[in-house]
Amino acid sequence: MDVRIDASWKARLEGEFAQPYWERLAAFVKQEYAAGPCCPPGKLIFRAFDLTPFGQVKVVILGQDPYHTPGAAMGLCFSIPEGTPPQPSLQNIFKELRSDVGIERTRTDLSDWAGQGVFLLNSVLTVRAGAAGSHAAKGWEKLTDSAIGHLSAEREHLVFILWGGYAQAKHTLIDPGKHLVLAAPHPSPLSASKGFFGSKPFSQANAYLQAHGQAQHTGAVLGFLDEELGTGAVVVRGPQRVGDRAGVSHHLLKSLVDRNKRSFTGSPCSGPHVGSQFEFVQPANQFFGHMQPVNLTGLPKQYSEVCTEPRCD
C-alpha cells in the first residue's frame, strides 16, 4: 500500500506499512471516514510528518489523539486553525510560554513551530468526531511508537516534552543518555495547576538546544509571517535585478538590521518574484515564540513588500 508521507519518514516507517496491523488499521480508518465525520481531514492525517521531516526534528511534543471537535484538529498535536476558539490546554500552554520565556502568543496554529523543528505528534492520528479515543488501540500507537524509536536511536540531542501520564509512558522508547526528556503534568485545566505551570519546558528546551549546537540552525526561514506579532522570517523584496546589482543596498540593509537587532540572510530571488530577497531571522535564543515586527522605516516604497511565504521558490 502506498502511503503519502514525507519521504524521510517513509524510508524509516516503510517496514511498519508492510505489517499486517497496518493493513487492518488502514481499512478501519477508511471505513470510519466513509461512515461519518472524523478528525482531522484525511489530507492532514500525516501533517506532523510532512511539516517536520526526520532530519529537521529538534523537539518532540507528544499528544494523545486529535481534537474530536470538527474543524479543530489539523494534524498537529495541540494546534488548531486560526479563527477557531482555543482549546483550554492550548491556552494553558500559552500561559506557561508567557511565564517561562516572556512570549505573548495568541496564534493558535502551531505550524510555525513545526517548521522550526518541533515535531507535534499525536500518538493516535485520527478520531471519530465527538468521540474521544475512538480510534485508540487500532494500530496507530505502533506506528507512532516506531517514529519515536527511530528518532531516539538515529538522532542525538533532541528534546522530548512529555505532558501527562499517557505521554510519559512513552519514556521507555527514548534514550535519556542521548536526549533531554522533560516530563510534567498535562496542560489540561484538570492538571495544569499540579505542576505544569512553572515547569519551564520552553526555556529548558532552548538552553539544551543551544548547549548542543541545535538552536543555531533555526536561523533560516522560520515559517509564515504572523501579521499581528511578526512571527517567523520577514522577506523584503526589491524590484527586478539589473545586471549584478541587487535592488537593496548593503548600507540600507545594515541600518535595518541594526534597528531591528537581528541578523539576515540575503540571496537573489528566482521564479516569479525576481529581485533581491533578504530574510530577517529569529535569534537563536528565541526558538519558541515570536519575533517583534520588523521596523521597515526608511525602506523605499518599491522595496517594502513583506512576504508571508517561507520561500520564494
**How far does the chain reach from its first CA to its final CA, in angstroms?**
32
3-state secondary structure at position 267: strand
**Residues in Cβ contact with 131 at an 8 Å cutoff, skipping those fewer than 6 apart:** 68
C-beta separation of 90 from 63 below 8 A: no
109 catalytic residue (yes or no) = no
40 upstream amide cis, omega within 30 of 0: yes
3-state secondary structure at position 209: helix
Task: Say how far apart CA 19 and CA 233 lie, in whole Å.
Answer: 41
**Residues in Cβ contact with 19 at an 8 Å cutoff, skipping those fewer than 6 apart:** 142
Pairing of strands 59-63, 118-122: parallel
Task: Say how far apart CA 223 and CA 287 lie, in whole Å.
Answer: 12
Q: Which residue has the cell 520577514?
A: 234
Q: What is the DSSP string of 22-73?
A: HHHHHHHHHHHHHHS-EES-GGGTTHHHHHS-GGG--EEEEESS---STTT-
Annotated catalytic residue: which of 65, 100, 112, 226?
Answer: 65
C-beta separation of 235 from 248 below 8 A: no
Show which residues are catalytic. Answer: 65
